[in-house]
């Protein structure tokens, strides 16, 4: 057993505290004791522990209050409730707080060691899950960035071609529209001619507009696929 696995034992009865200390120290744990809830919370604030054993009935802060405050500030830290006065209400409140075990007196060495081992396995499982999530998050972000770069690289030639085709058409169209407006304002008789020219311009522009959409739609599809793939990889 790794001697660095630290267990905090909270009990106002020194006999019980020494019993748990003796059993767990003999199994290779480092055991630190506190005689009440306030002292326990102070120790937890200043040092890191792997498991907390706390009696349920103590002067001042009860073991349930200790458990609730521990789980609120350090939800990953297992808490074992020790009591000789267990009730369904106590157990329901302890389970709601997220305690690891509810240990009933009288205690045997096997019960104490078994609860400690179970609590440590729970903590190790949580630590492994957090470590996996920490590793997977940067990998997913990196994959998402690569997909975006590939999509932009593939789309760049099509975007450039689309701009080359669209800009002259836009410029010519603007000039033609401005000239037609000026002619129709100065010469009302030109309105009919202007209408004909507008129809002709639309006819001439139609193939280029179609080509523009043919070029841009695949780009939009690639971008959408890349975005969907990146979100899936991130999840």
Q: Which residue has the tokens 């010469």?
A: 187
- Point out which residues pair with 55 in neighbouring strands: 82
Give the Cα separation of 121 and 129 in Å (integer): 12
Give the Cα separation of 38 and 201 in Å (integer): 85
Q: Look at 40-54, 73-87, 174-188 and tell me which has the smallest mean pLDDT.
A: 174-188
**Nearest in space to 230 (alpha carbons), one of 141, 136, 132, 139:** 141
Instruction: Give Cα separations from 185 to 182, 190, 191, 193 (angstroms).
Output: 5, 9, 8, 13
What structural domains and CATH numbers belong to the chain? 6-107 (3.40.50.2300), 136-234 (no CATH)
| Residue predicted with more confidence, 69 or 225 | 69
Tens digit of pLDDT for each residue in 133-169?
445 545 555 656 666 667 666 767 777 666 666 666 6
pTM for the full predicted model? 0.54
In the predicted model, is pLDDT for residue 131 greater than 50? no
Percent of the chain beyond pLDDT 70? 55
C-alpha torsion 33→34→35→37, nearest 10: -140
The set of long-range contacts for 209-216, using a CB threshold of 8 Å and a minimum separation of 24, is 211/165, 212/162, 212/165, 212/166, 215/158, 215/161, 215/162, 215/165, 216/158, 216/162
- Point out which residues pair with 7 in neighbouring strands: 31, 51
Give the Cα separation of 100 and 61 in Å (integer): 19
Q: Which helix (H) or strand (E) holds 26?
A: helix 14-26
């Amino acid at each position: 057993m790794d001697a660095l696995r630290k267990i905090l034992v909270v009990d106002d009865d020194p006999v019980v505290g020494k019993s748990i200390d003796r059993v767990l120290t003999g199994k290779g744990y480092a055991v630190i004791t506190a005689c009440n809830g306030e002292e326990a919370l102070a120790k937890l604030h200043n040092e890191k522990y792997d498991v907390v054993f706390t009696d349920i009935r103590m002067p001042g802060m009860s073991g349930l209050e200790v458990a609730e405050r521990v789980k609120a500030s350090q939800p990953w830290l297992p808490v074992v409730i020790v009591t000789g006065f267990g009730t369904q209400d106590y157990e329901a409140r302890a389970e709601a707080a997220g305690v690891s075990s509810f240990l009933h007196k009288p205690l045997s060495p096997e019960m104490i060691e078994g609860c400690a081992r179970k609590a440590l396995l729970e903590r190790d499982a949580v630590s492994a899950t957090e470590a996996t999530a920490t590793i997977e998050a940067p990998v997913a972000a990196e994959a998402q960035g690569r997909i975006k770069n590939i999509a932009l690289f593939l789309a760049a030639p099509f975007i450039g071609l689309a701009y080359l085709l669209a800009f002259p058409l836009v410029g010519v169209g603007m000039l033609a529209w401005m000239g037609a407006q000026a002619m129709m304002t100065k010469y009302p008789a030109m309105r009919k001619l202007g209408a004909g020219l507008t129809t002709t311009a639309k006819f001439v522009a139609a193939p280029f507009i179609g080509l523009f959409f043919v070029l841009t739609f695949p780009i939009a599809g690639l971008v959408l696929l890349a975005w969907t793939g990146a979100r899936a990889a991130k999840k």
